[in-house]
Homo-oligomer: A and B are copies of this chain.
Amino acid sequence: MHDDLPAMDDDDLRRGRPTVHRAFDEATAILAGDALQTLAFEFIAGPATHPDGGIRSALVSQLAKAAGMAGMAGGQMLDIEADGNIERMQSLKTGALFRFACESGAILGGADPAPLRQYAEHIGLAFQIADDILDVESTPETLGKATRKDAGRGKVTFVERLGLEGAKEKANDLVVEAISALDVYGPTAASLRDAARYVVSRRK
């Protein structure tokens, strides 16, 4: 909701429907985003998440880091500044939440988070590259949002950096690396392997 606002990406559509500030107004989009962010913390901190309060607190700490200055919000700031370091921007803006989503499973299960962290880093970057590819190859009808906006705003993208074929190759390589990070889990990680493949095969 916040990054769609006029002061940021100024997007009118999200998943084929009007963005919150278009359907309502800017104040509503700002406050609804604020309220939903707190709701995530309320949900995670609640007893239904895990019986051990220490584990719940660890999840809160990790989500807070992933969403804040060293994560999503900081990455969005770099995106707006368009400083050209797109690997670092991506690692913060979307990568941090991918890492949290994966690591939180290890935290909840008391397992080593390292393999899931590696997996998340690879699919996070593959996801962003796939996003840049869809931005030039897809249509607003299929994608459910405006396309070719990045070029119009002078933003560096992975497609521009690597070329279209180079970007596809890089995304596919990352999926292979993500899947090999799961070797330690054997056949139990099948759904994570499917998710990694989906990141580059999705059409929207």
Contacts and interface: CB of A to CB of B under 8 A. Distances in A.
19 contacts: A2-B31, A31-B77, A34-B37, A34-B67, A34-B72, A35-B69, A35-B73, A37-B37, A38-B69, A38-B71, A38-B73, A39-B68, A41-B63, A42-B64, A45-B45, A45-B60, A45-B64, A52-B53, A56-B57
Main secondary structure of the interface of A (DSSP, over half): helix
A193 B52 CA distance: 37
Interface residues of A, number: 44
Interface in A34-60: 34-35, 37-39, 41-42, 44-46, 52-58, 60
B25 A41 contact: no
A173 to B, nearest CB: 32
Interface of A: 2, 5, 7-8, 25-28, 30-35, 37-39, 41-42, 44-46, 52-58, 60-61, 63-65, 67-69, 71-74, 76-77, 80
A163 to B, nearest CB: 30
Given A38-B37, A41-B41, A68-B42, A30 B8 contact: yes
Given A2-B30, A57-B57, A64 B39 contact: yes
A71 to B, nearest CB: 8
Contacts of A72: 34
Nearest to A9: B27
A151 to B, nearest CB: 20
A89 to B, nearest CB: 13
Contacts of A67: 34, 38
